[in-house]
Structure 1
Amino acid sequence: MIFHAIGLMSGTSLDGLDICFAKFEKKDSWKFEIIKAETLLYSAKWEEKLRNSIYLSAEELLELNSEYGFYLGKAVENFIEKNQLENVDLIASHGHTVFHQPQKKFTLQIGDGRAIKLETNLPVIFDFRSQDVLMGGNGAPLVPIGDELLFSQYDACLNLGGFSNISLKINDQRIAFDIAPVNIVLNKLAQKFNKNFDENGDLAKKGEINEELLLRLNSLDFYKQPHPKSLGIEWCNENIFQLFKNIGTIDLLATFTEHISHQISKVFNEYQLSNILFTGGGTYNQYLIEKIKAKTNAKIIIPEKEIIDYKEALIFAFMGILRMNNKINVLASATGSSCDHSSGIIA
């Protein structure tokens, strides 16, 4: 069985729309090949719209949901045309997260899949998270099914995006959970220096660690909770940013980078992991990687750029194929839902 699919991913750090066209083949096990992939940077207008979506009225949010769906459809249409792609079986779209409150049984990723279908005339799978949340799960992380079936050669897979999340196997069961905020906080601080992100961690490197703040960050209740667990921007607004008063931005960058490295290495050491695949934009933050390496004996594997940048979009494409074939694409052991299931709305 051979399938070709396009995966779309827009992360909470708003660094752009990841588009990945990949081939998947099932023999004894699943194999994949990324054929074409690119990141479409958001215009200032779109970045502002998505960043402020959390503050919109219900009416405005419904309008943005449709508008962003057509935006995604046009982006895919241009991607297919530019790269002269054929044999596209489906598009799988993560959408852009506005709200994520699984404890209240809701999560919202905007970008109406029906609009994408109208633009592209291809089958579209979207809204991968809501069903899991309704079933008592966190609706996150979802990529562990891809880690299990496409990247099983590693002890664990760590994604450093807006948030850091990890997926690993314990006693033949794959577990996964969010560890800590990463770029959702670091990028916001870097913007005070008119930078989109702290390149290589160069700004953080110049700051001094505020020990009192570090202690307060490491003492937050979330870090004591058992898995499965997940984070959202609302949690950062309530628990992180309010602690940042009266401390210089450069020291906040240094302190928060230290905090991230502490929380991530703590998980590596707790589970005695030996080799871990690192992906996501935070993998390029050399200062953060050095800090993690200094706190653990685990071997950190940094793959080729294509996997660093597009692993999540790749896995959503894969999840779309599983959904279209009515196969399990969400693991209850990772999300905490009542059972494994096949999730995603088909347009």
Structure 2
Amino acid sequence: MIKKKWHIIGLMSGTSLDGLDIVYTEFREAECGYTFKLKYCETVPYSLEWENNLRNAFSASKNEIDALHINYGTYLGETVNTFISKNNISVIDFVASHGHTIFHKPNQGYTLQIGDGQTISTITGLKVICDFRTEDVALGGQGAPLVPIGDQLLFSEYKYCLNLGGFANISFQEVNNRIAFDICPVNIVMNHYAKLVGFPFDESGNLAKKGKLNTHLLNELNKIPFYAAATPKSLGFEFVKETIFPIIDNYQLKVEDVLRTFVSHIVFQIANCLDNKLESSLLITGGGAFNTFLINELKKATDNTIVIPNVDTINYKEALIFAFLGLLKSENQVNCLSSVTGALKDHSSGKIYTNVI
């Protein structure tokens, strides 16, 4: 049997607006699944203009969002071309793009990730696979999280896979099903308050470490109904804007105290999702893995063995897995699990665009 291999560019833009993560990765078919090698990785920071465009799109008109969808596709295509040229990449099967989430209200039947696939394909001359969430929502699912299929097939040696990005999300195996869900906001909230005092983010958690815990705010945050809701469940920026920010701002605390309290909120919610009776491995990726104060507080709250991988895996695991979702789609294999999203069935999600005139 001839083993297959694929060379794929993966794109990921998270809700925390840190920038565009772009990876070039090689996947190989193995006896028991797939192996991968991250060959080139880069985060391209957003200009202030793009950061504002993406942040403010939440309140833009339909016509403005339609235009932004195309313009952002142009930006993605041009960024891919620059990445290819910079790294002298010659072999590419396709580009897999997550896009940037503007709306995510699956319980109301819609989700929107902008970055037009046809535009990316036209600019790069490459096949593009994108729009991984809408089919799942149409099938009654949450459209998220989508990373767990990658956790299952690429990172199966860990009991728990925890990502600390704009939101915290977790996945794990329970009997024959992969279970996954969004836990709570993380960097999307922490970065917002750090910026109020002149920092792009709270490096190593140094601001939070100086703050005082406000137990009243902590208790109110922990009583938010979402946390008691059954899975499957997922979060979007709407939740932060409509629920989290109003609660926090009502207390009129110093930024350091907000960050200190929110760290405790994150830790409480994560620990509540873990089986702390068994010592298991907990893989942590995403920007929050660099928040030393947050990680140390989490270590105090669980007996699970926390594993912080190499820097590339921390930073680019999601972009890697969206490249992998594209691989599965290209092979007509399941890339979206009903046990995770609550959809009517497992399915192969995503839309394929080619540069055909």
Q: TM-score scaled by structure 1?
A: 0.99
Q: Does 1:265 align with 2:293?
A: no
Q: Which residue of 2 aligns with 1:314?
A: 320
Q: Which residue of 2 aligns with 1:225?
A: 229
Q: Which residue of 1 aligns with 2:68?
A: 64
- For residue 325 of structure 1, the aligned residue among 331, 334, 350 is 331
1: CA distance, partners of 2:149 / 2:204 = 30
Report the CA distance between 1:272 and its aligned residue: 4.2
Report the CA distance between 1:268 and its aligned residue: 1.5
Q: 1:208 to 1:280 in 2, by over 3 A?
A: same
Report the CA distance between 1:250 and its aligned residue: 1.5
Report the CA distance between 1:273 and its aligned residue: 5.8
Of all paired residues, the percent bearing the same amino acid is 51
Q: Which residue of 2 aligns with 1:240?
A: 244
Give ranges in structure 1 of 5+ residues lacking alignment.
none
2: CA distance, partners of 1:76 / 1:324 = 20
Q: Which residue of 2 aligns with 1:290?
A: 296
Q: 1:273 to 1:72 in 2, by over 3 A?
A: farther
Q: Which residue of 2 aligns with 1:21?
A: 24
Q: Which residue of 1 aligns with 2:107?
A: 103
Contact 1:155–1:273 (8 Å) recurs in 2: no
Q: Does 1:7 align with 2:16?
A: no
CA deviation profile, 1:301-320 (whole Å, cap 9, x unmatched): 00000100000000000110
Paired AA for residue 89 in structure 2 = L
Q: 1:328 to 1:51 in 2, by over 3 A?
A: same
Q: Which residue of 2 aligns with 1:115?
A: 119
Paired AA for residue 349 in structure 2 = S
2: CA distance, partners of 1:280 / 1:100 = 20
- For residue 151 of structure 1, the aligned residue among 155, 173, 176 is 155
2: CA distance, partners of 1:269 / 1:327 = 31
Alignment partner of 1:22: what SS? strand
1: CA distance, partners of 2:329 / 2:277 = 31
Moved more, 242-251 or 190-199: 242-251
2: CA distance, partners of 1:105 / 1:270 = 35
2: CA distance, partners of 1:271 / 1:163 = 25
2: CA distance, partners of 1:18 / 1:69 = 15
Report the CA distance between 1:270 and its aligned residue: 6.0
Moved more, 244-253 or 288-297: 244-253
Q: TM-score scaled by structure 2?
A: 0.96
1: CA distance, partners of 2:276 / 2:332 = 36
Report the CA distance between 1:325 and its aligned residue: 1.1
Alignment partner of 2:181: what SS? strand
Paired AA for residue 253 in structure 2 = I
Q: Does 1:193 align with 2:197?
A: yes
Paired AA for residue 331 in structure 1 = L
- For residue 217 of structure 2, the aligned residue among 213, 235, 239 is 213
1: CA distance, partners of 2:278 / 2:243 = 29
Q: 1:204 to 1:3 in 2, by over 3 A?
A: same
Q: Does 1:39 align with 2:43?
A: yes
- For residue 334 of structure 1, the aligned residue among 331, 340, 343 is 340
The two structures, once aligned, show a CA RMSD in angstroms of 0.9
Report the CA distance between 1:271 and its aligned residue: 7.9
Report the CA distance between 1:269 and its aligned residue: 3.1
Give ranges in structure 2 of 5+ residues lacking alignment.
none
Paired AA for residue 89 in structure 1 = D
Paired AA for residue 30 in structure 1 = Y
CA deviation profile, 1:120-168 (whole Å, cap 9, x unmatched): 0100011100000111111000001101111101101000000000010
Q: Which residue of 1 aligns with 2:311?
A: 305
1: CA distance, partners of 2:170 / 2:278 = 14
Q: 1:223 to 1:126 in 2, by over 3 A?
A: same
Q: Which residue of 1 aligns with 2:283?
A: 277
2: CA distance, partners of 1:186 / 1:322 = 34
- Provide runs of 4+ in structure 1 moved above 2 Å: 269-273
Contact 2:276–2:302 (8 Å) recurs in 1: no
